[in-house]
Structure formats: structure tokens, C-alpha cells
């Protein structure tokens, strides 16, 4: 889930003191750092069990013969925290590690709220939404849009709590689908708004076409896929 948060810094570029210097490095550095962290954590949980084949056997029994697994040991859903916690000799430390995993929700939920509010604000600023949505506080925070995102967030909490699978599935897909629109904007940016493109941290061309347009085309294709 860390892969769905670090790139959100792009949405608050207008509030960053020196976006040309820090934005590109932050996104690339965030991607590399996240990838490295995922590999290290996954390897540290998997490697000690390689010779015993415990993880494949556990997952197989949990999925296909939970009654057999229950007769051997307490039935717990297979997860990275479970396998990591089982490797820690001190039970209190093991429990602490498993509890800390719940903090990953904050890794995505809070940046998502910030980004959603900024997107609503931008749409209001361009008169695609009512002008009142563009109201800001004394500190420049889009208050109305932030409140709207909080209400939407609370609604999704209840959707998840009561397990309304159809709506949860639609919300999940809807969260990824707009990426094609972002990609299309990147394709058109150098041609439609060269003034904004001139401030971008991504410059240069390939075969006479700006790199940002190539990347935008790839994003559009992946979004539709």
C-alpha cells in the first residue's frame, strides 16, 4: 500500500517551497525507497522459513483444510505480520510489531484526503465545480473541499464496516480509473499550456516529443487497461 501514497506529493506541488528542486527527486526517491523497503521486509519474513517450507504449507492448509490447521495450531490469517511475529522470541515485542502494522492505514488514508481535497479545489478554481468549493482558510487550506473529503471518508468507513462488496469494488476501480485522465493531461500539457510546462521539473524530448507526453501516453494506456 505504500505504493499508493508517495506520488501524491505531486498534488501539493503548489504548496511546496521549491517544487522544481524537490518534487522530482522526492517522487523518484520515494519509489526507490519504497521498493527497497518492501524487498527487505518480504525477504526477512520469507528467508527463515525457506528450508522448512512452512509458509507454503500454512497457506495451503488455511485455504483448503482449515480444520486440519486448527487441530495443529491457532487459526490465523496468513500475513506478513503473522510470519514476522512468529520469528521474534519475545512475545511482547512480537505483539508490538503486529500492532504497529495497523499504522499502514495512515500511510495512504491521510495523503488520499489531502490529494482529493486539492483535486476538488482545482476543479472549482477552473469552474468545473461550484465556486464555493474553492474557499480557503487564512493559512491557504481548502477548507470546504477538505470537509467534503472527510464526509466521503466516513461514508466509505461504513461501506467497509457493513461489507457492501459491490460498492467497495466500484470505489476501488474508480480510484484507479482517473489515472488515464491524468495521463492525457500530461500528453497535452506541453502543447496546450506551454507556460505551465516550462515550470515542470521534467524537460527534454525524445523523437521530437516531450518526455512528459511519452510518460503521459503510457499512463493513459495503463489507466484504460
Residue at grid coordinates 517551497: 17
Instruction: Name, in order, each residue with C-beta under 8 angstroms of 99's C-beta and a sequence gap of 6 or more.
Output: none
Per-residue pLDDT of the chain (225 residues; tens, 9 = 90+): 556 666 677 777 667 777 777 777 777 887 888 888 888 888 888 899 988 899 999 999 999 999 999 999 888 889 888 888 888 889 899 888 878 877 777 777 777 788 888 888 888 888 888 888 888 888 878 889 999 999 988 888 888 888 778 887 887 777 777 778 888 989 999 999 999 888 877 788 899 899 999 999 998 888 788
DSSP 30-76: HHHHHHHHHHHHHHHHHGGGTTTTHHHHHHHHHHH-HHHHHHHS---
Q: What local confidence, expressed as pLDDT, does residue 64 receive?
A: 95
For 58, the grid coordinates are 500454512
For 57, the grid coordinates are 504449507
Dihedrals φ, ψ of 42, to 5°?
A: -65, -45
Are 5 and 111 spatial neighbours (Cβ–Cβ below 8 Å)? yes
Round the CA-based radius of gyration of the chain to a whole number and report it.
22
Helical H runs in 65-164? 66-72, 80-85, 91-100, 104-125, 143-161
Alpha-carbon span 196 to 78, nearest angstrom: 48
Phi-psi label, residue 173: left if phi above 0, alpha if psi -120 to 50, beta otherwise: alpha
Q: What local confidence, expressed as pLDDT, does residue 4 receive?
A: 63
Amino acid at each position: 500500500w505504500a505504493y499508493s501514497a508517495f506520488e501524491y506529493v505531486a498534488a501539493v506541488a503548489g504548496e511546496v517551497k521549491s517544487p522544481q528542486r524537490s518534487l522530482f527527486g522526492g517522487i523518484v526517491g520515494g519509489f526507490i525507497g519504497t521498493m527497497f523497503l518492501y524487498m527487505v521486509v518480504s525477504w526477512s519474513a520469507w528467508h527463515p522459513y525457506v528450508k522448512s517450507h512452512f509458509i507454503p504449507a500454512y497457506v495451503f492448509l488455511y485455504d483448503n483444510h482449515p480444520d486440519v490447521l486448527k487441530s495443529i495450531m491457532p487459526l490465523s490469517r496468513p500475513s506478513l505480520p503473522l510470519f514476522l511475529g512468529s520469528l521474534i522470541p519475545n512475545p511482547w515485542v512480537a505483539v508490538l510489531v503486529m500492532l504497529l502494522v495497523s499504522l499502514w492505514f495512515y500511510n495512504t488514508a491521510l495523503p488520499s484526503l489531502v490529494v482529493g481535497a486539492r483535486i476538488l479545489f482545482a476543479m472549482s478554481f477552473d469552474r468545473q465545480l461550484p465556486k464555493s468549493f474553492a474557499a480557503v482558510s487564512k493559512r491557504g487550506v481548502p477548507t470546504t473541499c477538505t470537509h467534503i473529503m472527510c464526509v466521503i471518508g466516513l461514508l466509505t468507513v461504513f461501506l467497509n464496516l457493513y461489507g457492501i462488496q459491490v460498492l467497495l469494488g466500484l470505489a476501488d476501480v474508480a480510484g484507479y480509473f482517473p489515472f488515464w485522465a491524468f495521463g492525457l493531461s500530461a500528453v497535452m500539457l506541453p502543447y496546450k499550456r506551454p507556460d505551465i510546462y516550462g515550470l515542470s521539473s521534467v524537460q527534454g524530448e525524445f523523437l521530437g516529443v516531450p518526455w512528459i507526453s511519452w510518460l503521459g501516453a503510457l499512463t493513459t494506456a495503463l489507466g484504460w487497461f
